[in-house]
Amino acid sequence: LGLLNVRAMSFLILWYIFSAFTLFLNKYILSTLKGDPSFLGAMQMVMTTIFGFIQMYLPLGMYTPIDREGKPPHFWRNMVLVGTMRFGTVVLGLVALKFVAVSFTETVKSSAPLFTVFISQVLIGEYTGPYTFLSLIPVMLGLALCSAYELSFNIQGFIAALATNLTECLQNVYSKLLISGEKYKYTPAELQFYTSLASMGIQIPFLLIMMDTTSVRNNMDYTLFFTYIINGIFFHFQSITAYVLMSYISPVTHSVANTVKRAFLIWLSVILFGNPVTFLSGIGTVTVTIGVLLYTKAKEY
């Protein structure tokens, strides 16, 4: 049924809402409260680990808990693998932002559906028909146009942005493989908790090296600390709703939904932060919309 399922559509909307709140708070913490990006990343991972653990016992209607004795085969290997990919996505994203503007990273990320098509075919044998494949072009082109302002090309930034894209797509397809397994199905909360735990084990030492601890200590007050916690909670729900949604739809559809989400967040930032609207972003939004309609139609063939 895919997104025609009422629950799938509900989780898609929730995913968009939580992502918008996370984005808004990221911007507020870093720009207004002068928070530290490394500490922000660490807090997000800590909060999502804590709440992931709670949700393994309190599903909150997001999934049906699975009663099983012991862990599936290669459980820890899979969790460390996905956790490392999550860590890689965060770190490479930070590296990309060091060299290039956010808009450039978003433009590179617009190629995500293409990466997902190839990775899905290799990992889970999911074939994408020619009509569906062609319908992805306006989706990707639209997002590229939406974010193609202040493009500052830099080879290190470009490679980091491309690598971020690859690890994120790989992580999504592999997570789909685990969440929809025929013999062993992982629950969204298990994926959230154990991969966050694995990622945190690698990420926290790395971020502590990158973090300016003196600056973090000097800037910290109750408002900033409370905002870090709220941001971490929203980040957790953004991540877990993405996993729940993944259990209903294919990786390629998930990637298209993610592309639409990015275009939606670009427009939301225009409304909330007064970012200038360019002619290209207007054309881009229309192109993404047409692409999504074509993708929906192409899936029928």
The 3-class SS string of 251-287 reads: HHHHHHHHHHHHHHHHHHHHHHHCCCCCHHHHHHHHH
Answer whether residue 15 shows pLDDT above 90: yes
Cβ neighbours for 40, distance < 8 A, ≥ 6 positions apart: 26, 29, 30, 228, 231
User: Given a cut of 80, is residue 231 above it in pLDDT?
Assistant: yes
- Sequence spans of domains, the chain: 2-61+72-298
Residue 152 has pLDDT above 70, yes or no: no
Please state which of the ranges 24-33, 197-206, 283-292 shows the lowest mean pLDDT.
Answer: 197-206
pLDDT band at 134 (very low <50, low <70, confident <90, very high): very high
DSSP 8-state assignment for residue 68: -
Which residue carries 């409304």 as its tokens? 271
Q: Model confidence over 46-59: pLDDT tens digits?
A: 999 999 999 999 98
- Tell me how far apart the alpha carbons of residues 149 and 276 are, in angstroms, rounded to a whole number: 10
How far is it, in rounded angstroms, from Cα 179 to Cα 240?
Answer: 12
C-beta neighbour count of 117 within 10 angstroms: 20
Q: CB neighbours (10 Å) of residue 160?
A: 23
Q: What is the pLDDT of residue 149?
A: 67
pLDDT of residue 151: 60
At residue 113 the predicted structure's pLDDT band, cuts being 50, 70 and 90, is very high
- Residue 33, pLDDT above cutoff 60: yes
**Do residues 199 and 84 touch, judged by C-beta distance below 8 A?**
yes
